[in-house]
Amino acid sequence: MIDILQELNEEQRRAVLCEDGPVLVLAGAGSGKTRVLTYRIAYLIGERNIPPGRILAMTFTNKAADEMKERLKQMLGERIKSMWVGTFHSICARILREHAERLGYTRDYSIYDEEDRERIIKRIIEQEELRISPGQAVKVISRLKQGLISPDECSGDDLACLYSKYNEKLKENNAMDFDDLLMNTIRLFENHPAVREIYARRFLHVLVDEYQDTNRAQYVILKHITSIHRNLFVVGDDDQSKYSFRGAEIRNILDFEKDFPDVKIYKLERNYRSTGNILKVASNLVAHNRGRKEKVLWTDASDGEPVMVIEKETEYDESLEVARIVERELERTPPGEIAVLYRANYLSRSIEEALRRKNIPYRVVGGIRFYERKEIKDVLSYLRIMVNPRDDESMLRIINTPPRGIGKATLRNLLDIAEERKISLFDALEFTDIPALSSFRSLLHELMDEKEDVRDAVRAVLNKTGYLSYLEESGKEEDLNRIENLEELVSSIDEWVRRTGETSVSSYLSTISLYTEIDRWDKSEMVNLMTLHNTKGLEFEVVIITGVEDGILPHRRSLEEGNEEEERRLFYVGITRAKKRLYILYSRARGTSWGPSRFLGEIGREGVKFVGSPERGRRVFHPYYGEGIVIGVEDGGRKITVDFGTFTKKFIVDLAPLKFLDNGDY
């Protein structure tokens, strides 16, 4: 057992060693909250002798859950295997696998992603001639489910009809969407009290990470699971709550004391990540929020380099500046330790172009997710049909993939049979003698013989369906890339079996259905580009935040909806990802913004250096011509004229070896 007293500071130690009952740990950015959560579990098992199987730990990402399990395994050995560690969604999926029949599903139900959901919703809208956009409907229905609002409680006939028919289609397909995993767990607990009692009695201790980002449904699940023992240990930071668009309720953490009057509260205020100057900027900013719990971050680290706030004339200039900063930083910083952050995905385009021009390798985190690529989804749809033949969405995806002569007329024939007999498309295959469909039916039965082991199943799909040979014969560069992705899929399945010891297709599908792009993320030999929302739990030596302008950060939509405080928290999260150096950039002329962000007036001046764009009167230094004064600016600051006393000279700023002095010297 680790020496807890030696490994933790005083604040952390008090939280880890606290008595039973409800506990709220307010953990500032970089204060070691994951360590506290992990050591609390180690203390319960190693010192208090709590059986691991009676502990439940909830994390925000699967990556965080995996890292926690690995750390606990190093500390306590194999005995932690029986402990429940995972995201809310993965824990709920596990509970539902055990009791799905009570809700009218089989254990092998499918889990639909956003693309699956939008496809079903689009079809219903067309059939019912409803006046609502599919993309908007997906978001609205998701928010309703997260808020535990049923179709009967909906306002608006079109929405209520769509929501109801969407749920009916999911049930017919023996499928749930992401939000159903939470909502159906609550239904299970409330309609079957004996099941709720099983879990409420089993878990003596429940621990939750990132509590500030829990939504209404997650809150209700916790209330059910902790209803008997009441040992709920939550860690969070209200200053980092940034997911209201996903239904997160910051009131869950702000009102924790009202829900649990006997709560014990601990504050972690010592920061182990950032320099003093970065912390000053972050603290000054977030202090402007009223809806927060007071805490003051501090560090033993030095002030470090000043935080750079850089103004550029246009978006183009800003992107070039980002590329220049990255180029300079690469001389002393590994590429994987550099992150360029922005409020919205569209802002990455010009930055990517600037990095490409300088041949700087980068990757966009949260781009097309691996498991959302067409070829991956095709193969996964075959696997889904092998264990859940009622999954009509997967059937529609694979029925003519790769092409096997099943056209629109043939498919219409099959759909009519299924509709007339009120059966699934798979069952409808038994009632047709069309050769192409009969051949497809035989193929599916042959594949189902391989479903005992996911490694055999995926190889059977690739080879017996002709999918792999179809891509190989195409010869297109795009299809060769698809083959590489499929090879990666096979390799990842082999690794999953080695890591988990499981082999069932259902378990594998359940695991990857709940994975996000951030779960696959690790630091690489490339500069990272990502949205501020994708930065949870990450840290980098160098952080560059771009587009810090009103209308972008804070976003105009958030301002219209009265969510300025959440936008401030989002900026705060970005700032506190930085360990050593922080650059904040904005441009004066961008069509989607209203000028410098109001937040720049809140970060203070101490430890901050403000750098303007080229303007008349600025002093510059040229290694050959010496010191001069800018007397002319053209083309948005890309070209300048400099007076060197006895002569003047024109320069293209990006190409000339000029150094800007005064407030531009950084």
Q: Which helix (H) or strand (E) holds 438?
A: helix 435-448
209 given a catalytic annotation: yes
| 455 vs 495: CA distance, rounded Å | 10
The confidence band for 316, taking pLDDT boundaries of 50, 70 and 90, is: confident
The answer to whether 643 is a known catalytic residue is no
Work out the pLDDT band at 521, boundaries 50, 70, 90: low
Q: What distance lies between CA 424 and its chain's CA centroid?
A: 34
Q: What is the pLDDT of residue 297?
A: 85
Contact 608, 309 (CB under 8 A): yes
Which of 242, 276, 282, 305 lies closest to 545, judged by CA? 282
Give the pLDDT band of residue 276 (cuts 50, 70, 90): very high
Instruction: Report pLDDT for 636.
Output: 58
Could you please state the CATH topology (level 3) that the domain comprising 307-361+521-611 is classified under: Rossmann fold (3.40.50)
**Separation of alpha carbons 383 and 399, rounded Å:** 13
Sign, CA dihedral 145-151-152-154, equals: positive
| The two structure tokens encoding residue 21 | 């009952």
> Choosing from 13, 33, 295, 580, which is the catalytic residue?
33
Residue 87 pLDDT level (bands cut at 50, 70, 90): very high
**pLDDT band, very low/low/confident/very high, at 441 (cuts 50, 70, 90):** very high
Reply yes or no on whether the pLDDT at 256 is more than 90.
no
**Residue 112, SS3?**
strand
Residue of 87, 218, 240, 275 marked active site: 240
Report whether pLDDT(666) > 80.
no
- How confident is the model at residue 665, as a pLDDT? 47
φ, ψ at 229 (rounded to 5°): -85, -25
Determine the pLDDT at residue 319: 93
Spatial contact of 176 and 510, defined as CB atoms under 8 Å apart? no
Instruction: Convert the pLDDT of each residue in 219-236 to its tens digit.
Output: 999 999 999 999 999 998
Q: How far is CA 591 from CA 2, 19, 136, 321, in A?
A: 56, 56, 25, 19
Residue 477 has pLDDT above 90, yes or no: no
Q: How does pLDDT run across 400-411, given as a tens digit for each residue?
A: 999 999 999 999
pLDDT band at 637 (very low <50, low <70, confident <90, very high): low
Q: Which of 145, 280, 577, 580 is catalytic?
A: 577
Mean pLDDT of 559-565: 89
**What per-residue string of b and e applies to 370-384 under the rule 16 or more CB within 10 Å gives b?**
bbebebbbbbbbbbb
Mean pLDDT throughout 114-124? 92
- Whether residue 378 has pLDDT greater than 70: yes
For this structure, is 294 an active site residue?
no
Active site residue 210: yes
- DSSP for 50-99? --GGGEEEEESSHHHHHHHHHHHHHHHGGGGGGSEEEEHHHHHHHHHHHH
Tens digits of residue pLDDT in 494-509: 988 988 899 999 999 9
Cβ proximity of 32 and 268 under 8 Å: yes
2-95+184-270 and 307-361+521-611 share one CATH topology? yes
Per-residue pLDDT, 664 = 46
* Residue 524 banded pLDDT, cuts 50, 70, 90: low
pLDDT at 28 over 90: no
Told to judge if 240 belongs to the known catalytic residues of this protein, a careful annotator would answer yes
> 3-state DSSP call for residue 662?
helix
User: Given CA atoms 340, 341, 342, 346 in this order, what sign does their dihedral have?
Assistant: positive
Tell me which fold the domain 2-95+184-270 belongs to. Rossmann fold (3.40.50)
The residues facing 26 across adjacent strands are 236, 267
SS3 per residue for 4-35: HHHHCCHHHHHHHCCCCCCEEEEECCCCCHHH
**Which of 12, 34, 275, 299 is labelled catalytic?**
34
At 615 the pLDDT is 74
- The residue whose two tokens read 């809806």 is 291
Catalytic one of 108, 179, 180, 209: 209
Quickly state the pLDDT bin for 432 (edges 50, 70, 90). very high
Asked if pLDDT for residue 81 goes beyond 80, the answer is yes
Question: Using one digit for the tens of pLDDT, what is the confidence trace for 598-632?
Answer: 999 999 989 998 887 677 788 889 999 999 999 98
Q: Which architecture does CATH list for 371-514? A: Orthogonal Bundle (1.10)
**pLDDT interval class at 244 (50, 70, 90):** low
Choose the weakest-confidence range: 119-133, 176-190, 589-603. Answer: 589-603
For the stretch 318-368, pLDDT in tens is 999 999 999 999 999 999 999 999 998 888 888 998 998 888 999 888 765
Q: Is the pTM of the predicted complex or chain greater than 0.85?
A: no
Q: Catalytic: which of 116, 179, 180, 210?
A: 210
Got the DSSP string for 139-163? Answer: HHHHHHHHTT--GGG-SSHHHHHHH
**Angle, vertex CA 19, rays to CA 14 and CA 25, nearest 5:** 50
Mean pLDDT throughout 434-453? 94
Active site residue 523: no
Domain ranges of the chain: 2-95+184-270, 114-173, 307-361+521-611, 371-514, 618-660
CA 117 to the chain's CA centroid: 19
